[in-house]
Amino acid sequence: MILLTQHARGTPFDNSINGFVATETQSAIEEAKSAALGLAQWIVSINRNAIMINNNWFGRNELMSNSASYVFNRATRLISLSWTNTNEDCSFDLEFYKNGRETTKIYTYEVRLKTMGYIFGLSYDFVAGDYLDIKYIDQGQNASDMGLDIGMTAI
């Protein structure tokens, strides 16, 4: 019996009609995987239906303020943030902590005299089991009835 084994790295791949860079099968598989992971994105919404007070923590909502803002169930990258509230001309900071309140602060988002805003281009990585806590720091007029949308992508 003759056993013929062919390896993906040695198998040619025709990239002339699909936009791939790869010219052999193994690299094409890796390229497809990277492209697919880049497409998996989602938004986590966190709401607070009350006036924000200095040093308040965001749980999933005001009834769960003592819980983590978000617990990660897979390798994830935090990529964006948008927010809105009902009070005009608010000024505050949002402090982002990884795996514990007041432990590892990874980012501070500063808001000055706005009722809504957003930021893209964030890049903070988490693994399954990590969690995120978000703290409100008052810098003037308090926000009220606030909503946060946190954008994430798979890594």
Residue 13 lies in a domain: no
Q: What is the CATH number of the domain that holds 56?
A: 2.60.120.230
The predicted model scores a pTM of: 0.74
Evaluate whether residue 11 is within a structural domain: no
Q: State how many domains the chain has.
A: 1
* 107 belongs to a structural domain: yes
Domain that holds residue 103: 41-154
pLDDT in tens, the chain (155 residues): 555 556 777 788 888 877 788 888 888 888 777 766 556 788 999 988 888 889 989 887 667 777 888 999 999 999 999 999 998 888 999 999 999 998 999 999 999 988 899 999 999 999 999 999 999 999 988 888 899 999 999 88
- The CA–CA distances, whole Å, from 129 to 35, 44, 105, 142 equal 25, 16, 17, 32
Residue at 16 is within a domain: no
Q: For residue 53, what are the contacts with CB-CB under 8 A and spacing of at least 6?
A: 136, 138, 142
In a domain, 113, yes or no: yes
Structural domain contains residue 4: no
